[in-house]
Amino acid sequence: MNSAITKQEIESALAVRFGDVFERHGQRWVETLTTGVSEIDDVVGGFPRGAITEIRGAASSGRTSLLFSGLAAATTQEEICAVIDCSDTFDLSSAAKAGVDFERLLWVRCGHSLERAFKAVDLILHAGGFGCVALSLCDVPAKAVRRIISSWWFRFRRAIENTSTSLIVLTPVSAVRSCASLALEMKNERTLWPGTMSLVSSNDSGDKNAIEAERRLSLVATPAAKPHVYPAHTHFLRSMQIRANRQRPIDWSAGAMRFNPQLH
């Protein structure tokens, strides 16, 4: 083959016979499931239905808060949801405070077994009719998450395409890779400690970074957190930074947003 023929020339030559098959069509989401956070919905539109959404981040990065928010919004809209809890860490009290309707939630506890968790997801996806299915791998060691074979994700993607089910996977590290139609990377940006004692000096450099990030992104109008002193457990995450991506290869500059969890 003549090396001078570029890829573009081949495509233009074949386009005469096969039309515009080489043109990349942007993925059109017929429907989305709201995340319950308007800042995120403004950027990504919500969790795509019929596709896999990966929410990844370190511990205390806000993954579970975002999941609870999405579940609350979905169950409020009378969607039937399922949570496959690999490590049995689903907290009912905070989920109830977030507004999750337990009458519409199927909770499957898998007792730290990845295999059982994936089989349970497979069964639920093939049963059909669920609005949102969440697989929580938050407390699975990163090493084990990286070893998950891709065929599971391909199987799940195939099972839910052309359905109204949104599969949300919470992981500590990237696991779903190219099968995820939407990847959200969470990061705890700042914490708020009202009425508490600080044992070390405040991290000034971290605050500066946060302010810079806020200036650079300026995607959200963050309501000012009132410095209340709360009698019960304090609620720390003052703001979270979330990066969203839909393109392959991953380009994290596509979109980013911050939001503030509600103080309760």
Distance CA 47, CA 79 (A): 14
Distance CA 74, CA 82 (A): 11
- In angstroms, give the least distance from the CB of 74 to other proteins: 9
- In angstroms, give the least distance from the CB of 113 to other proteins: 8
The per-residue b/e assignment along 61-75, b for 16 or more CB within 10 angstroms, e otherwise, is: bbbbbbbbbbbbbbb
242 binds other proteins, rule: CB under 8 A:
no
Applying CB under 8 A, among 89, 150, 178, 247 the residue interacting with other proteins is: 89
First CA to last CA across the chain, in angstroms? 67
Q: In this chain, which stretch among 6-14, 154-162, 193-201, 207-215 interacts with other proteins, using CB under 8 A?
A: 193-201
State which of positions 139-168 bind other proteins (CB under 8 A).
139-141, 164
State which of positions 29-88 bind other proteins (CB under 8 A).
31-34, 36-38, 45-46, 58-69, 72-73, 76-80, 87-88
- Whichever of 11 and 209 has its CB closer to other proteins, that residue is 209
Q: In this chain, which stretch among 28-36, 175-183, 211-219, 246-254 interacts with other proteins, using CB under 8 A?
A: 28-36
Applying CB under 8 A, among 166, 171, 239, 260 the residue interacting with other proteins is: 260
φ, ψ (nearest 5 deg) of residue 209: -60, -40
The answer to whether the beta carbons of residues 164 and 31 sit under 8 Å apart is yes
The answer to whether the beta carbons of residues 159 and 122 sit under 8 Å apart is yes
x/- letters, 99..138, toward other proteins (CB under 8 A)? x--xx-xxxxxxxxx--x--xx--xx-xxxxxx------x
State which of positions 171-190 bind other proteins (CB under 8 A).
187-188
Report the alpha-carbon angle 67-71-76, nearest 5. Answer: 155
Distance CA 174, CA 137 (A): 11
- Whichever of 248 and 264 has its CB closer to other proteins, that residue is 264
205 binds other proteins, rule: CB under 8 A:
no
Place of tokens 């205390």: 60
Total residues interacting with other proteins, rule: CB under 8 A: 90
Tokens describing residue 105 = 């939630």
* DSSP label at residue 253: G
- Whichever of 16 and 30 has its CB closer to other proteins, that residue is 30
